[in-house]
């Protein structure tokens, strides 16, 4: 309800002189910087999206982190460890980008830990086998790149700049995931069937990552007008399907969608109906791992309390010694 009300409000263009100037700058592809005037609704939309994005990176470390100790070789372990660390780094750049909009890191973390903030639905699914790590890299990071490349041109400077480095790293993640899938698909029949099982379980949740259908996307109109979003949810979902289906076929895998077919007239892959009831259930906290994920983040936060206290005590001591020396 809140979101619908907010959208209705943001969909109306700001007709004040500042609002008109702001929109003209956006349309001229000028970057908006933290100290520039911006409509309050633009600021709130960015805080919402950037913080959800940051939370997704941090919660997204959990399903893969679960496999670091069980990666099949030292090389796989090193690559997975580096990938999970990259995700932690992405979360930090994104929290820093959100902070430039006048919200504190503590407030954002509190919203996540108290269940008031959303993070990507995809991270509420379990990683049951090693092939899931391949499928996540190939498909989840693949979907993330499809969504994030246009964000490198987002109208808000700090978010756009953070996305450039994030996209470079995501692209490496996607390749390492596809390479895991390729190795499994060229391996024993058991390995290939693990890869198929992972694709069967991750395919539909990956399509949900792009958000509700355009007809139900509350924020799209305002975000497109402000050039935060450059493509609609359905537009990006179609691009992802078009890119991924030939990759899956190259692996010799089949997609868990009997309606999937290539439409020569449009050059697109047509796919079946997404189960939006499942999507809404996951967003409402009823996905397979929602409770587990939040419990893990709360425990990490509590376990890290001593680090925050020690850092504050250290900073206070340094301030005191600088003052004493002055």
Residues lying near ligand BYC in the complex (CB under 6 A) are found at 3, 48-49, 52-53, 56-57, 60, 87, 118, 120-121, 140-141, 144, 147, 208-212, 217-220, 223, 229, 233, 283
Residue nearest ligand BYC by beta-carbon distance: 60
Task: Output the CA–CA distances (angstroms, integers) from residue 313 to 107, 110, 321, 322, in the order listed.
Answer: 21, 22, 12, 14
Q: What residues have CB less than 8 Å from 79, skipping those under 6 apart?
A: 176
Q: Tokens standing for 240?
A: 């992802």
Q: Would you say 192 or 226 has its CB closer to ligand BYC?
A: 226
* Nearest distance, CB of residue 29 and ligand BYC, angstroms: 19
Q: Tokens standing for 23?
A: 């929109």
Cα–Cα nearest to 289, from 140, 126, 61:
126
* Nearest distance, CB of residue 179 and ligand BYC, angstroms: 16
> What gap in Å lies between CA 45 and CA 42, rounded to an integer?
5
* Nearest distance, CB of residue 113 and ligand BYC, angstroms: 17
* Nearest distance, CB of residue 145 and ligand BYC, angstroms: 8
- What is the DSSP code string of 66-108? TTGGG-SSHHHHHHHHHHHHHHHHHHHHHHHHHHTTT--HHHH
Q: Tokens standing for 71?
A: 């990666």
* Nearest distance, CB of residue 298 and ligand BYC, angstroms: 19
């Amino acid at each position: 309800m809140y979101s619908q009300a907010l959208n209705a409000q943001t969909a109306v263009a700001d007709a004040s002189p500042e609002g008109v100037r702001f929109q003209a700058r956006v349309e001229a592809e000028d970057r908006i910087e933290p100290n520039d005037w911006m409509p309050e609704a633009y600021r709130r939309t960015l805080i919402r999206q950037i913080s959800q994005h940051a939370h997704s990176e941090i919660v997204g470390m959990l399903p893969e982190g679960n496999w670091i100790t069980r990666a099949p070789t030292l090389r796989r372990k090193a690559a997975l460890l580096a990938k999970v660390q990259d995700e932690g780094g992405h979360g930090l750049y994104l929290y820093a980008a959100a902070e430039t909009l006048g919200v504190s890191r503590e407030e954002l973390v509190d919203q996540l830990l108290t269940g008031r903030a959303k993070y990507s639905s995809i991270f509420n699914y379990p990683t049951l086998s090693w092939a899931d790590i391949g499928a996540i890299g190939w498909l989840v990071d693949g979907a993330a790149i499809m969504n994030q490349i246009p964000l490198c041109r987002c109208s808000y400077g700090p978010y756009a700049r953070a996305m450039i480095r994030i996209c470079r790293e995501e692209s490496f993640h996607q390749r390492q995931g596809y390479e895991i899938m390729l190795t499994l698909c060229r391996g024993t029949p058991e390995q290939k069937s693990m890869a198929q099982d992972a694709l069967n379980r991750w395919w539909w949740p990956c399509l949900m990552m792009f958000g509700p259908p355009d007809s139900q996307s509350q924020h799209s109109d305002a975000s497109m007008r402000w050039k935060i979003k450059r493509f609609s949810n359905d537009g990006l979902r179609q691009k992802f399907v078009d890119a991924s289906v030939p990759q899956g076929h190259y692996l010799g895998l089949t997609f868990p969608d009997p309606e999937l077919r290539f439409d020569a007239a449009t050059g697109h892959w047509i796919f079946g109906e997404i189960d939006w009831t499942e999507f809404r259930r996951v967003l409402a906290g009823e996905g397979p791992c929602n409770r587990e994920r939040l419990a893990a983040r709360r425990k990490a936060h509590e376990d890290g309390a001593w680090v925050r206290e020690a850092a504050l005590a250290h900073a206070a001591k340094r301030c005191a010694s600088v003052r004493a020396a002055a």
